[in-house]
């Protein structure tokens, strides 16, 4: 081929690069591995993830739910995973129609009117929601509660730091574990949005309706974040509670933990704000013959047209993960989502009851729960859980001191439909054993 285009050697291909910029040596990366060698290598590294094979009660923004086998089969189809963003609708209807279904499912679950094609994850979706609230209200103050996932708050802070938004974080109520009345009070006429999470980081369900009234009374928006999307199968939808923007982490819907990503951010709001939404939107369209199809629409909001005035800089989103969530939701269906949520509620309640009955252990927060709750143990939570892992081979929870230094003995426990009663009982016995020394 080189000859065909009149070149002598591969070097000639790069003659537009100044000599002194050419790398004169081979890259200092390893030589090629064969498939066999590569798999051995990764399996070896994998064995260093002791946690991966253990019964786990970790939540805090990433959840182990059962993933129906067909999800991976569908997203592994070449036609889906090796396609690009559907810029050419005539040969991308497969992707476009599934996104349209995804947008619809997100609206149904959140109780909202319009949803986009996905955001990077729940945390960035929340940050974008805050930016959007500022655009919509033209107000610059944002009030959040400290019961929002600490990492989400960090991300919001990073995003808003140069946007002329001041972010005020109001402490939660240490008795209930819910957002304090203080939060509602903090809202004023300069407030663009009230930002809450429900169930919150401690697993407590917030009184969204009350918060919505408080926000709306001052013309502020209520922005609700959901990290455990499975709760939408059982809890009153944020939309029904009056939320103006709802964002969620969709990982609970058929997406493996995979050390934190890729996940998928859900973003939903009211029709009237449709043109302020960040990210891609798919809409219905028709051809000359009247056939229905779907297209990327309202592109004028986006960066490739609007440049710096775009509603966001997001381009590539989480298409394939949104597809996984779509397959998951359609497979579980109306009744499956309800049942999974119901089992989470019941199993978590069972675990909470049993753990609370252990001496030395108590549940510091009184607020209503879905499938997560905080436990206070008789000793340093880090030490306690480390023992539990080592001696019992159980991942018992997340020590809160990582995020709240004033809570050395507290840890967050999550129970889902995949935790069998045996696993829960083993956790309970394990906790009492390792703490009795």
Ligand X SMILES: Cc1ncc(COP(=O)(O)O)c(C=O)c1O
Q: Residues interacting with ligand X, by CB under 6 A?
A: 315-316
How many other β-carbons are positioned within 10 Å of the β-carbon of residue 150? 16
Going by C-alpha positions, the residue among 117, 309, 146, 112 that lies closest to residue 221 is 112
Question: What is the SS3 assignment for 79?
Answer: helix
For the range 238-241, what are the long-range contacts, defined as Cβ-Cβ under 8 Å and sequence gap of 24 or more?
238/110, 238/111, 238/112, 238/198, 238/208, 239/110, 239/111, 239/112, 239/113, 239/268, 240/111, 241/111, 241/208, 241/209, 241/212
Distance of closest approach, residue 278 Cβ to ligand X, in angstroms:
13
- Residue 15 binding result from ligand X, a copy of itself, another protein, none, given CB thresholds of 5 to 8 Å by partner type: another protein
Residue closer to ligand X (CB basis): 199 or 278: 278
67 close to 256: Cβ distance less than 8 angstroms: yes
Residue closer to a copy of itself (CB basis): 200 or 343: 343
- Residue 384 binding result from another protein, a copy of itself, ligand X, none, given CB thresholds of 5 to 8 Å by partner type: none
- Residue 318 binding result from ligand X, another protein, a copy of itself, none, given CB thresholds of 5 to 8 Å by partner type: another protein
- Residue 120 binding result from ligand X, a copy of itself, another protein, none, given CB thresholds of 5 to 8 Å by partner type: another protein
Residue closer to another protein (CB basis): 30 or 189: 30
Distance of closest approach, residue 315 Cβ to ligand X, in angstroms:
3
How many other β-carbons are positioned within 10 Å of the β-carbon of residue 78? 7
Q: How far apart are CA 27 and CA 34, in angstroms?
A: 19
Q: How far apart are CA 270 and CA 112, in angstroms?
A: 6
- By CB under 8 A, name the binding residues for a copy of itself: 35-36, 66, 68-69, 73, 76-78, 418
Residue closer to a copy of itself (CB basis): 73 or 185: 73
Residue closer to another protein (CB basis): 219 or 299: 299
136 close to 221: Cβ distance less than 8 angstroms: yes
- Residue 193 binding result from a copy of itself, another protein, ligand X, none, given CB thresholds of 5 to 8 Å by partner type: none
Distance of closest approach, residue 38 Cβ to another protein, in angstroms:
6
Distance of closest approach, residue 22 Cβ to ligand X, in angstroms:
23
Distance of closest approach, residue 262 Cβ to ligand X, in angstroms:
12
Residue closer to a copy of itself (CB basis): 9 or 69: 69
Q: State the DSSP code for 17.
A: S
């Amino acid at each position: 081929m080189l000859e065909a285009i009149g070149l002598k050697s591969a070097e000639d291909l790069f003659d537009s690069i100044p000599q002194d910029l050419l790398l004169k040596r081979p890259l200092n990366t390893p030589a090629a591995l064969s498939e066999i060698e590569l798999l051995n290598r990764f399996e070896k590294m994998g064995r260093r993830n002791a946690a991966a094979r253990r019964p786990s009660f970790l939540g805090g923004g990433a959840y182990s739910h059962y993933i129906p086998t067909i999800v991976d089969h569908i997203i592994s189809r070449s036609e889906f995973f090796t396609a690009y963003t559907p810029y050419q609708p005539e040969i991308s209807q497969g992707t476009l129609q599934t996104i349209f279904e995804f947008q619809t499912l997100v609206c149904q679950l959140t109780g909202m009117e319009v949803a986009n094609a996905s955001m990077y994850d729940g945390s960035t979706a929340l940050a974008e929601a805050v930016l959007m609230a500022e655009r919509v209200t033209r107000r610059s103050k944002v009030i959040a509660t400290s019961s929002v996932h600490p990492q989400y708050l960090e991300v919001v802070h990073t995003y808003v730091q140069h946007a002329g938004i001041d972010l005020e974080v109001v402490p939660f109520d240490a008795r209930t574990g819910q957002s304090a009345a203080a939060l509602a009070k903090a809202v004023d006429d300069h407030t663009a949005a009230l930002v809450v999470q429900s169930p919150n980081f401690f697993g407590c369900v917030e009184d969204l309706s009350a918060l919505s009234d408080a926000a709306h009374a001052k013309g502020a928006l209520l922005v609700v974040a959901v990290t455990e999307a499975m709760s939408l199968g059982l809890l009153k939808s944020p939309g029904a509670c009056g939320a103006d923007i709802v964002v969620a982490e969709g990982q609970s819907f058929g997406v493996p933990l995979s050390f934190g990503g890729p996940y998928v951010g859900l973003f939903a709001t009211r029709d009237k704000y449709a043109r302020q939404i960040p990210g891609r939107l798919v809409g219905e369209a028709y051809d000359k013959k009247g056939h229905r199809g779907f297209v990327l629409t309202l592109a004028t909001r986006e960066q490739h047209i609007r440049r710096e005035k775009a509603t966001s800089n997001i381009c590539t989103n989480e298409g394939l993960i949104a597809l996984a969530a779509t397959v998951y939701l359609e497979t579980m269906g109306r009744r499956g989502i309800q049942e999974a949520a119901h089992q989470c509620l019941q199993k978590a309640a069972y675990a909470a009851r049993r753990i609370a009955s252990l001496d030395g252990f108590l549940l510091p927060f009184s607020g209503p729960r879905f499938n997560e709750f905080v436990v206070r143990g008789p000793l340093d939570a880090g030490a306690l859980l480390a023992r539990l892992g080592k001696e019992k081979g159980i991942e018992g929870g997340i020590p809160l001191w990582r995020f709240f230094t004033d809570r050395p003995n507290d840890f967050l426990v999550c129970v889902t439909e995949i935790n069998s009663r045996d696993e829960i009982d083993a956790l309970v016995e394990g906790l009492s054993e390792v703490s009795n020394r």
